[in-house]
Amino acid sequence: MPLGTLDRTPPPFFKQGPSALSKLMVCSALALFLMVADSRFRITQPVRAAVATVLFPIQWIALWPVKGVQGVQTYLTSLNTALHNEEIAHQKLLLMSQRANQVEQLANENAQLRKLLGLRERLNSPSLAAEVLYDAADPYTRKVVIDKGLAQGVEAGSPVIDESGVLGQVTRVHPLIAEVTLVTDSDQAIPVVNTRTGTRGIVYGDAGRFGSGGLELRYMAANADVQVNDLLTTSGVDGVYPAGIPVAKVAKVERRPDSAFAKIVCYPQSHVDGARHVMVLRSLLAQMPPRPAPEDPAPLQKRGRK
């Protein structure tokens, strides 16, 4: 083929047309025109609304998986938050319940201690606060163990009271603890006085009464003026218990014709079964002045001889 017959024009694929700079300038001018026209005349607003309406279902379908995942995450987060909040609320409820029980217990203890302190002020007797640790192991006696002993100055024979009255007497002392025999023990006897009549008597422990322990006012005449609900307090004549501390109340009076004495059953005023905070008093024997020495009978015999 002769060379003169060849087509020297470039193929359509390689045709470049306008230059890139020309295209940029035209597109920039068109974009600027559209922006100014849309800003001033809003000519593209209907077109934008139509396009948005047409594309809304597609957008909703495209966003549905994302919203589903977000909903599941929100549900799981809310569930975990709710469970966590429930756990925190349950813990707070338990804590508040425990604190409420402690507050009630502390209020009762505070009231008991206030009563103890008030009784202490009236007694004018040295005293020592103590706490009941446990009951004695012997089932045939009525005794408790307190947390004060020789190291704190507790002495054998010291009376022990609670906020309601006489609880018992210290019968055995160890270095750090002491054993208190309760008033309901069968070996206990306390001189008392009837606050209504002023009659003196002696109350003995009677562990067989009232299930957990009672008292009995013995050796009272059958015609003695004793009535139910009479209050018996310590008389103070024994040199152990200060006078005026409540001991018991009369529960039952039996006057039998075949006996010269009335059978008088009493119940203790102190909490013999539930006492926790007690007061150990100093025995009155340690506060009393010593007895005077007996006189020498020799001068009297000499005077008689003269």
Strand duo 214-221 + 200-206: pairing = antiparallel
Identify the burial level of 302 via C-beta atoms within 10 angstroms of its C-beta, where 0-12 means exposed, 13-18 middle and 19 or more buried: exposed
Sign of CA dihedral 115, 121, 122, 124: positive
Both tokens assigned to 43: 């000519």
pLDDT means over runs of 10, the chain (306 residues):
57 63 87 81 74 77 80 82 85 77 72 72 74 83 90 90 91 91 91 91 76 79 90 88 90 88 91 88 68 62 54
Please report the pLDDT score of residue 210 as a whole number.
45
- Give the whole-angstrom CA distance, residue 28 versus residue 72: 46
What is the spatial distance between Cα 189 and Cα 138, in angstroms, rounded to a whole number? 20
Are 161 and 281 in contact by the 8 Å Cβ rule? The answer is: yes
Cα dihedral sign, 139-143-146-150? negative
Residue closest to 133 by CA, chosen among 269, 275, 271: 275
Q: To 5 degrees, how large is the angle CA 46–CA 47–CA 52?
A: 100
What pLDDT does residue 266 have?
93
DSSP label at residue 126: -
Q: Give the pLDDT score at 207.
A: 63
Can you give the pLDDT at residue 287? 59
- Separate counts of helices (H) and strands (E) for the chain: 3, 12
Per-residue tokens: 133: 């640790």
Phi, psi of 130 (to 5 degrees): -145, 165
CA distance 178 to 169: 10
Cα 41 to Cα 148: distance, rounded to the nearest angstrom: 100
What is the structure's pLDDT at 123?
Answer: 58
Q: What is the pLDDT of residue 303?
A: 54
